[in-house]
C-alpha cells in the first residue's frame, strides 16, 4: 500500500507518494504478520500514517534475499567500475529528488527544511559519490617473503551486512552506511529507526532505477527490540554496522556473541567537549560552539555538549553565546526563517526536559532557555547552563538535545583532564590561535575526532568514530572500507 502526502507549505508545495511496505528482493511486500506502526509528526504530535514493520520472519526473508543476491549477482562478480557507476547514478537520483526528500525528512523528524536541503541532502549525495569513486580502487597487495613463494592479499567483501541506523539524520546516515558497503561489494539489509522510515521508503525505487540488482539492498522498517534484535541475532548475517545509543550497541555485541560472532562496528553516543582558550577568535568560537550544540536541535552524536571556557574571556563568551541561543527561531519547519525545530518524539522531549529539570535541581544556573516552547509538538528552548559541576548528571550523561553545560577553567593542563573525564570519546573542538595549544589539546583529548577552530562537521575523506564507549571501528573515509572488506592472504609455493 502507498501513502501520499500533500505538502502545502511556504517552501514546498507538491504531493509525494511512497510505498509503506517492506522493500525485499527489489519489490515492496507486506510483512508476514501484517504488522504496522504509526509515524508521528514531531511538529504537531499527530499521526501522519502507518508503515509496515518487520518481525523475525520478515528479517529472515530479507536476509535470504540478500544472501541469494550476494551469491548470484553481486560481490566481486560485478566489476568495481559497475558498482561505482550504480552508486553515482543513485547519487544523481537523490540529487534530482532533493526537494522532495528534504520535505519528507522535515515532515518525519522535524528538521528545518532549508538547512536539511542545503546540508543533509547535499552531504548524502557527496558521500555516495565519494564511495562511488572508491569502488574500483579497493586493492590487495603483493607481499614479498622468500624466493620460493609468491604471496598476495585480496580484499573481499564481507557478504551480507545488516545496517541499523537512528533517526537524527536518516538519509545522511543511509548514505554513510550504503556507500562503503556497496562500493566494497556487500549486500545489505537496512533497518531505519522506527521513528524515521519515510526517506528510506522513498529511496527504495531509486535504488532499483540506479541498477542495483534485486536483493542487493533490502529496506525493512521495524522496531529495535523486534526487527533490530532479529537482524543482530541472525546466524546468516556476516556483519552489523550500527549507529545509535551505547546501550543498544551493547545489545548488538551480545547478540553477535550469542549467535555467529558476526563482525560489529558501532558508532555510538558522546558527551563531546568544546575547549575555548582565552586567545581564541571569540566571534568564531561563539559561532561554532553554537553550531556544535544547537545544530539539529542538539540531536547530533558529536554535539559539543560540554563547553570549557577560559576565565579571561568567560563573561564575554557567555554574553555572546546566550545571544546565539536566544536568536534561534523556533516554528514551522517549512518556514524559511525557522532555524530550530522540535525534538524527534515525545520520548526524546521528555528525556531532554528531564535533564533540564535535573540541572535546575542540582543548582546549575540557567543562563537562557530551560522551558518547553509553545504547547504543540516537541519544542525545547535552546538552553545554556553555567555553574555546572563535573559530577552533575547534565555534565556526565548524553542529553541529545539543545542543552549546553558551560564550565569556567583557568589551568590549561587541568582542562584536558576535565574534558577527558567521561566514558565517551567521540569528538572534541578546540579554539585558539596558538598552534602549540591547538595541537597539544587536539592530541591530548581521548576522542576519535579533534576539530580545531571548527566543530561538529565530519568530512567524507576522514574517519569518523569513537574512542572509549563511543564506538568500535570507523565510518567514512578509506577506513570504513576496511570494515566492509575482509582480507585474505594467498600463499603460492613456487
Distance in Å, CB of 398 to ligand NAD, minimum: 5
Q: Which is nearer to ligand NAD, 93 or 164 (CB)?
A: 164
Are 396 and 422 in contact, with CB atoms under 8 Å apart?
Answer: yes
Rule CB under 6 A: is residue 19 a binding residue for ligand NAD? no
Sequence-ordered alpha helix ranges (H) in 135-272: 170-183, 198-210, 229-233, 246-258
Minimal CA–CA distance to 89: which of 138, 136, 128?
128
**Region from 68-76, 144-152, 266-274, 371-379 binding ligand NAD, contact rule CB under 6 A:** 266-274
CA distance 416 to 158: 39
Instruction: Report the residue from 202, 251, 340, 483 that binds ligand NAD according to the rule CB under 6 A.
Output: 251
CB of 3 to ligand NAD, least distance (A): 20
Residue 13 CB coordination number (10 Å): 11
Q: Give 11's DSSP letter.
A: S
Residue 229 binding ligand NAD, by CB under 6 A = yes
Selected catalytic residue, list 194, 267, 381, 482? 267
d(CA 339, CA 297): 9
> Measured from the CB of residue 374, what is the shortest distance to ligand NAD in angstroms?
23
By CB under 6 A, residue 108 contacts ligand NAD: no
Q: The cell 570549557 sits on which residue? A: 308
- Minimum Å gap between C-beta 37 and ligand NAD is 11
Is 100 a binding residue for ligand NAD by CB under 6 A? The answer is no
Give the CB-nearest residue to ligand NAD.
Answer: 224
- Whether 156 is a known active-site residue: answer no
Please select the residue that binds ligand NAD; options are 41, 127, 248, 296, rule is CB under 6 A: 248
Residue 124 binds ligand NAD, judged by CB under 6 A: no
Q: Which stretch binds ligand NAD (CB under 6 A): 16-24, 139-147, 218-226, 366-374?
A: 218-226
Stretch touching ligand NAD by CB under 6 A, among 138-146, 166-174, 317-325, 331-339: 166-174
**Cα 24 from Cα 60, distance rounded (Å):** 11
How many chain residues touch ligand NAD (CB under 6 A)? 29
The residue among 40 and 78 lying less far from ligand NAD, judged by its C-beta, is 40
Q: Which is nearer to ligand NAD, 223 or 259 (CB)?
A: 223
* CB closer to ligand NAD out of 225 and 374: 225
Residue 47 has phi, psi (to 5 degrees) of -70, 135
Spatial contact of 37 and 223, defined as CB atoms under 8 Å apart: yes
Q: With contact defined as beta carbons under 8 Å apart, do 31 and 356 qualify?
A: no
Residue 414, H or E segment = helix 412-419
The yes or no reply on residue 367 touching ligand NAD (CB under 6 A) is: no
Q: Smallest gap, in angstroms, from Cβ of residue 164 to ligand NAD?
A: 5
Residue 244 lies near ligand NAD (rule: CB under 6 A): yes
Q: Which is nearer to ligand NAD, 91 or 252 (CB)?
A: 252
Give the residue, chosen from 41, 43, 243, 256, that forms a contact with ligand NAD under the rule CB under 6 A: 243
Q: How far is the CB of 229 from ligand NAD (least distance, A)?
A: 4
Alpha-carbon gap, residue 152 to 166, rounded angstroms: 39
Task: Give, in order, the Cα–Cα distances in Å from 214 to each of 18, 52, 86, 98.
Answer: 18, 20, 13, 24
Please choose, from the candidates 13, 27, 443, 466, the residue with its C-alpha nearest in 3D space to the C-alpha of residue 204. Answer: 27
Within 294-333, which residues bind ligand NAD (CB under 6 A)? 301
Site for ligand NAD (CB under 6 A): which residue of 19, 105, 238, 267?
Answer: 267
Q: Least distance from C-beta 268 to ligand NAD, angstroms?
A: 5
CA proximity to 427, closest of 399, 397, 387, 466: 466
Which residues are CB-neighbours of 92 under 8 A, at least 6 positions away?
none
Q: At its nearest, how many Å lie between ligand NAD and the CB of residue 255?
A: 7
Cα–Cα–Cα angle for 295, 192, 220, nearest 5°?
Answer: 165
Structural contact between residues 108 and 198, judged by C-beta atoms closer than 8 angstroms: yes
Q: Does 193 bind ligand NAD (CB under 6 A)?
A: yes
Contacts of 450 (CB under 8 A, 6+ apart): 427, 428, 429, 430, 441, 442, 443
Q: Confirm if 422 and 466 have CB atoms less than 8 A apart.
A: no
Using CA atoms, how far apart are residues 270 and 304, in angstroms rounded to an integer? 9
| Binding flag, residue 378, ligand NAD (CB under 6 A) | no
Report the residue from 180, 228, 304, 342 that binds ligand NAD according to the rule CB under 6 A.
Answer: 228
In this structure, the strands spanning 187-191 and 217-219 are parallel
Task: Quote the CA–CA distance of 1 and 22 in Å, as a whole number.
Answer: 10
Q: How open is the CA angle 201-206-210, to the nearest 5 degrees?
A: 150
Residue 245 interacting with ligand NAD (CB under 6 A):
yes
- Contact call for residue 225 and ligand NAD (CB under 6 A): yes
Residue 189, strand partner residues? 162, 218
Using CB under 6 A, which of the segments 164-172, 200-208, 256-264, 401-409 binds ligand NAD? 164-172
Closest CA to 406 of 493, 299, 321: 321
CA atoms of 452 and 280, how far apart (whole Å) = 11
Cβ 31 to ligand NAD shortest distance, Å: 16
Asked if residue 123 binds ligand NAD (CB under 6 A), the reply is: no
**Binding residues among 36-75 for ligand NAD as defined by CB under 6 A:** none
Smaller CB separation from ligand NAD, 234 or 251: 251
Q: What is the contact surface with ligand NAD in residues (CB under 6 A)?
A: 164-168, 191, 193-194, 223-225, 228-229, 232, 243-245, 248, 251-252, 267-270, 301, 398, 400, 426, 471
Active-site residue list: 267
Amino acid at each position: 500500500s502507498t501513502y501520499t502526502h500533500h505538502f502545502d507549505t511556504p517552501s514546498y508545495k507538491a504531493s509525494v507518494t511512497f510505498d509503506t511496505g517492506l522493500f525485499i528482493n527489489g519489490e515492496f511486500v507486506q510483512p508476514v504478520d501484517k504488522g504496522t506502526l504509526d509515524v508521528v509528526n514531531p511538529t504537531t504530535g499527530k499521526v501522519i500514517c502507518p508503515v509496515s514493520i518487520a518481525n523475525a520472519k520478515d528479517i529472515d526473508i530479507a536476509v535470504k534475499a540478500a544472501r541469494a543476491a550476494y551469491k548470484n549477482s553481486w560481490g566481486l562478480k560485478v566489476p568495481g567500475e559497475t558498482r561505482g557507476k550504480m552508486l553515482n547514478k543513485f547519487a544523481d537520483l537523490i540529487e534530482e529528488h532533493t526537494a522532495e526528500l528534504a520535505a519528507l525528512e522535515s515532515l518525519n523528524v522535524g528538521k528545518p527544511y532549508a538547512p536539511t536541503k542545503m546540508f543533509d541532502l547535499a552531504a548524502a549525495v557527496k558521500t555516495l559519490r565519494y564511495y562511488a569513486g572508491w569502488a574500483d580502487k579497493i586493492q590487495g597487495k603483493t607481499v614479498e617473503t622468500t624466493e620460493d613463494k609468491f604471496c598476495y592479499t585480496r580484499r573481499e567483501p564481507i557478504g551480507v551486512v545488516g545496517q541499523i541506523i537512528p533517526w537524527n539524520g536518516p538519509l545522511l546516515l543511509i548514505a554513510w552506511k550504503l556507500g562503503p558497503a556497496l562500493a566494497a561489494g556487500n549486500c545489505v539489509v537496512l533497518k531505519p529507526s522506527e521513528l524515521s522510515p519515510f526517506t528510506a521508503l522513498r529511496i527504495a525505487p531509486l535504488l532499483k532505477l540506479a541498477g542495483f540488482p534485486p536483493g542487493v539492498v533490502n529496506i525493512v522498517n521495524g522496531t529495535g527490540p523486534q526487527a533490530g534484535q532479529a537482524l543482530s541475532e541472525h546466524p546468516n548475517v556476516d556483519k552489523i554496522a550500527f549507529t545509535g545509543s551505547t546501550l543498544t550497541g551493547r545489545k548488538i555485541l551480545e547478540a553477535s556473541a550469542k549467535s555467529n560472532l558476526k563482525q560489529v562496528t558501532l558508532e555510538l553516543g558522546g558527551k563531546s567537549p568544546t575547549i575555548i582558550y582565552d586567545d581564541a577568535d571569540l566571534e568564531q568560537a561563539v559561532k561554532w560552539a553554537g553550531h556544535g550544540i544547537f545544530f539539529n536541535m542538539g540531536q547530533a552524536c558529536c554535539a559539543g555538549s560540554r563547553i570549557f571556557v577560559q576565565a579571561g574571556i568567560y563573561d564575554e563568551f557567555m554574553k555572546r553565546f546566550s545571544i546565539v541561543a536566544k536568536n534561534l527561531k523556533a516554528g514551522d519547519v517549512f518556514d524559511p526563517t525557522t532555524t530550530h525545530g522540535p525534538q524527534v518524539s515525545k520520548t526524546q522531549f521528555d528525556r531532554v526536559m528531564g535533564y533540564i529539570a535535573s540541572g535546575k535541581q542540582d543548582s546549575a544556573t540557567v543562563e537562557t532557555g530551560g522551558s518547553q516552547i509553545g504547547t504543540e509538538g516537541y519544542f525545547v528552548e535552546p538552553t545554556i547552563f553555567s555553574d555546572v559541576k563535573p559530577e552533575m548528571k547534565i555534565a556526565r550523561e548524553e542529553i541529545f538535545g539543545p542543552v549546553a553545560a558551560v564550565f569556567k577553567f583557568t589551568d590549561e593542563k587541568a582542562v584536558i583532564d576535565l574534558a577527558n573525564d567521561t566514558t565517551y570519546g567521540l569528538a572534541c573542538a578546540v579554539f585558539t590561535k596558538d598552534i602549540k595549544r591547538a595541537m597539544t589539546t587536539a592530541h591530548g583529548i581521548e576522542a576519535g575526532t579533534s576539530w580545531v577552530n571548527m566543530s561538529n562537521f565530519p568530512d567524507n575523506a576522514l574517519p569518523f568514530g569513537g574512542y572509549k564507549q563511543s564506538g568500535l571501528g570507523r565510518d567514512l573515509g578509506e577506513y570504513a572500507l576496511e570494515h566492509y572488506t575482509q582480507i585474505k592472504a594467498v600463499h603460492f609455493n613456487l
